[in-house]
Structure 1
Amino acid sequence: MTETQRRIGFLVCLLTIVLAVLDLQIVSAATVPIVRDLDPEHGIDKIPWLVSAFALASAALLPLYGKLCDVYGPKRVFTGAIATFLLGSALCGAAQSMDQLIAARVVQGLGGGGLMSVTMVVIAHLRTPREERADDKGSRNGSNVGGLVAGGAMAVGPWIGGLLADHASWRWIFYVNLPVGLVVLVASAVALKLPERPVRRPLDFAGAALAAAFSCALLLVTDWGGKTYAWSSPEVLTLIGTAAVALALFLRRQLRAAEPVLPLSLFRVRELRLGFAIQAIMGAAMTGVIYYVLIYLQVVRGIASSSAGLYLLPMAAGLSATGLLAGPLGKRGWTTRTFTICGTATTALVFVLFATTTAPDTSLWLIRVELLLAGAGFGQLLGQLILLVQDAAPRHRLGVATTSIRYFQTLGNALGTALFGTILTRLYTGHGPGGDVTALARLTGPARAEGVHAFVDATSVVFWCGAGVMALAALLALRLPRSRPEPLTPDTAKQSVAA
């Protein structure tokens, strides 16, 4: 592959990351006009499914995407994921009812699951993590610049969504994906010269189905538990049982399958085992920062939801800044272990700051600084954990290992939502109408003062829990080896597993 083809390949990957991040951000900014246009009477009850349908479909296929990359080569899977995502985007834009839109979001999610995960596999084949760190362009390529682009897209996403919804039509938040996606498809067909797989290996469809069942059941538990249904309700208990059975059958299947979807031998490699665990914890922590800081700003400080989203700009700036600094710091001897330790420690400290500054009179500028530091902490982890896993993974398992990082982050997001939400609800219940936190903004007088006090105390506990889980991640990071692992071949992988 020529250097020009590599540069075009990186540009294709960056555009794909923009597509993935923007789609997550801009939809939330257009929910009101969507409901007003499609179903003004009952559509409000279906708004959560606009996000949940995409998330469920995306998570269900994540394990399979990695295996497909290893079996068929990343280029074919990359092209298929983008084509499916574009089909879903076109169907979303043409939807004539909320039910049609939700169904189209499922199609979009089936492709969306591969946008971020398979893109990182493609980047790994364009330039190996070790070559990337040795490149004198450092932060301008690969996983680190991916964090920079993702941070920028996160910052402008809500603004673009609001702009399109207000001045064009909500349908354009989906149609805008089409020209960008078509450019990506054409450019990838011309420039991406990735290795093909000369020998086809069988796919473990039974394992993929069990992984999808487990993922969907778990996400529904975390989405419905304590909100739509009580944790002790038959609906939630049935889903918990389904997730447990599916997980047990999946693990049994992976031990017996000739070509497992998620080879359990990967977990015998210390770097992979620790990397997956830290990524899951980070996913839970990111949920805590983004979701509960925004709720605090709206409920306690009375800031409108549209304005509260702007407070995430410092966090996006922190993510972008660490993406730029990763290359220069890497040249000065910083390893993935160094970045991971600093990132987890910084994030744990930020949670302590959040926990001690939840009073109603806390300076909003202090909150902005805390979000900037949170972005810097998470930014050190996002790209570096991918590099850690790609360095340690057997080359013939690169696709599975890379997409597993995204999968464990998704599971962490879901579990973090359930954990922190349950803590907040249990501590706050009884201090507001029906224990509904969102009703606080409508209260006045002594009732509001009492409710705000209870909410502040509950939020502080949530952030202390976040500090605890990130401290655990920091302890895990300390166990990472000081030297960089050599990429494993199939033969050395067998030796590593046997050891």
Structure 2
Amino acid sequence: MTDTQRKLGFLVCLITIVLAVLDTQIVSAATVPIVKDLDPEHGIDKIPWLVSAFSLASAAMLPLYGRLCDTLGTKPVFLGALGAFLSGSALCGAAPSMAWLIASRALQGIGAGGLMSVTMVVMAQLAGPGADRNKGAGTGGIIAGGGIAVGPLVGGFLADHASWRWAFYINLPLGVAALATAVVALKLPRPATRGSVDFAGAGLAAAFSTMLLLVTEWGGKQYAWTSPQVTGAALAAAGAFALFLRRQATAAEPILPPSLFRVPELRLGFAIQGLMGAAMTGAIYYVLVYLQLVRGITSSAAGLYLVPMAAGITAVGALTGRLTELGWSGRTFVISGSVVAAAAFLLLATTDADTSLWRLRAAMLLVGLGFGQLLGQLIQLVQQAAPAHQLGVATTAVRFFQTLGTALGAALFGTLLDRLYDGPGDIGSLAALHGAAHLRGVTAYTSAMDTVFLCGAGVMALCLLLALRLPKGATAPAEKEPVAA
């Protein structure tokens, strides 16, 4: 590839990451206008499926995408994922009913799962071995993290000032331009030999992740944790997981090779990524809920409080990426990022009904400074340590474990918050309370929320313990042959 083609390839990757990550958050702020337009009477009951269809489809496809990259080559898989995402976006924007929208959202999620993982493989191949690969992976991680923080802001703005359909149509101009550019500019290596794809293993992985995500979506919300629906989904997840482990141990070319977990950087990197996903989601979600329920701030205005977090992720990610290129160990930044993120959660755990909003902004900046170090460095760690012929599987596994961690963290933190809240009514009715009842509810909610943030600090402390076990010199630039994936 020429230098111009390579730069265009990087630009395409950044655009697709932004589009995919934004769409994980952007719809949540537009659910009310969607229901009013498509199904005012019964649409509210279908909102959980509208939100879940995207994440379920995305998570279910992740293990398969990695293996397809290592078997068929990265370019055709990338183009297929982008095509599915754009098709789903167009169908979502034109949806005449909730059922149509939910099905189209699932198609969009299938594509987004590839964009948030395969794109990282494309960037690694564009950069080549050594420090340049670190730069590509780090940039992708920073953009992804910033998109997570900015998504609710964009969604709130569109919900307040434009039609909800633009939450989907906004993907099309940039997405089509990226697709056309990728077809022409990307010239990536192809695998020397085409192995088989373990479709049975991929199906079991999809079944496990889907059932697990349904447990976290349903439990304590739509159904009681002991209900037949949640219990059945949990048993199905456990059964699928057991069959998946057996399949991976016996398959000739497993979808998630057990050999990856014998590499310390990969084993520890996957675990830290999953824990980080749980903690990061908690920081974003509960700060937004606090601002809206306790402080009475609108959804779009609340999203502005995530800007310091996005700024922190971008700034520190760029700095650590540059220092890594100069020879600094990525292990150092994974350790320091865990420490800073834990400190941020401890600061958030002191929040009450009268906390200065500027102090809250400072806490979110600190959250960004901590997670910004982790988002880029963990991807670099995995890509540098992964065997050349398994780069695709290892890279998508990072995203897979983050997705599972995010779902489990949201469910566990949410359940903990509900159990700790001892105010009048439930948390959902807090905004409707007045006078002394409202004061008691706010006090009870902030007390419970602070305990959740303390648990977040504990999660990051566990990340620190795992980071200290990383081999010294982890993610240091290592010369490798160009990856055929």
TM surpasses 0.5: yes
Residue 327 in 1 paired to residue 321 in 2? yes
Q: Tell me what 1:109 maps to.
A: 109
Q: Tell me what 1:120 maps to.
A: 120
Deviation at 1:308, TM superposition (A): 1.4
TM-score by length of 2: 0.95
Q: Is contact 2:313–2:368 with CA below 8 Å preserved after alignment?
A: yes
Q: Tell me what 2:392 maps to.
A: 399
Equivalent position to 2:360, from 336, 357, 367: 367
Equivalent position to 2:211, from 212, 217, 220: 217
Residue 419 in 1 paired to residue 419 in 2? no
Q: Tell me what 1:461 maps to.
A: 451
**Structure 2 alignment gaps of length 5 or more:** none
Distance in 1 (alpha carbons) for counterparts of 2:385 and 2:400: 18
Residue 80 in 1 paired to residue 73 in 2? no
> Which amino acid in the other structure matches residue 376 of structure 2?
G
Deviation at 1:80, TM superposition (A): 0.5
Deviation at 1:329, TM superposition (A): 2.3
Distance in 1 (alpha carbons) for counterparts of 2:109 and 2:453: 31
| 1:252-401 mapped onto 2 (5 Å cutoff) | 252-355=246-349, 357-401=350-394
Q: Tell me what 2:34 maps to.
A: 34
Distance in 1 (alpha carbons) for counterparts of 2:81 and 2:133: 28
| Higher mean C-alpha deviation, range 228-237 or range 196-205 | 196-205
Deviation at 1:133, TM superposition (A): 6.5
Distance in 2 (alpha carbons) for counterparts of 1:104 and 1:35: 16
Residue 207 in 1 paired to residue 197 in 2? no
| 1:421-460 mapped onto 2 (5 Å cutoff) | 421-428=414-421, 430-433=422-425, 436-460=426-450
Residue 191 in 1 paired to residue 185 in 2? yes
Q: Once superposed, what is the RMSD of the aligned Cα atoms?
A: 1.9
Distance in 1 (alpha carbons) for counterparts of 2:137 and 2:157: 30
Seq. identity, %:
66
Q: Secondary structure of 1:196's match?
A: coil
**Structure 1 alignment gaps of length 5 or more:** 135-140, 491-499
In structure 2, relative to structure 1, the CA distance for the partners of 1:252 and 1:105 (3 Å cut) is same
Deviation at 1:453, TM superposition (A): 2.0
Distance in 1 (alpha carbons) for counterparts of 2:379 and 2:298: 36
In structure 2, relative to structure 1, the CA distance for the partners of 1:339 and 1:113 (3 Å cut) is same
Deviations 1:345-371 (A, max 9, x none): 11111111111x222111110000000
Distance in 1 (alpha carbons) for counterparts of 2:160 and 2:44: 19
Q: Is contact 2:225–2:231 with CA below 8 Å preserved after alignment?
A: yes
In structure 2, relative to structure 1, the CA distance for the partners of 1:324 and 1:350 (3 Å cut) is same
In structure 2, relative to structure 1, the CA distance for the partners of 1:305 and 1:182 (3 Å cut) is closer
> Which amino acid in the other structure matches residue 123 of structure 1?
M
> Which amino acid in the other structure matches residue 398 of structure 1?
L
Q: Tell me what 1:138 maps to.
A: none
Q: Is contact 1:147–1:319 with CA below 8 Å preserved after alignment?
A: no
Deviation at 1:120, TM superposition (A): 0.2
Deviation at 1:459, TM superposition (A): 1.0
TM-score by length of 1: 0.92
Deviation at 1:166, TM superposition (A): 5.5
| 1:3-152 mapped onto 2 (5 Å cutoff) | 3-128=3-128, 130-132=130-132, 141-150=135-144
| Higher mean C-alpha deviation, range 444-453 or range 234-243 | 444-453
Distance in 1 (alpha carbons) for counterparts of 2:301 and 2:461: 31
Distance in 2 (alpha carbons) for counterparts of 1:162 and 1:372: 20
Q: Tell me what 1:470 maps to.
A: 460
Q: Is contact 1:394–1:488 with CA below 8 Å preserved after alignment?
A: no
| Higher mean C-alpha deviation, range 367-376 or range 188-197 | 188-197
In structure 2, relative to structure 1, the CA distance for the partners of 1:184 and 1:40 (3 Å cut) is same
| Higher mean C-alpha deviation, range 233-242 or range 156-165 | 156-165
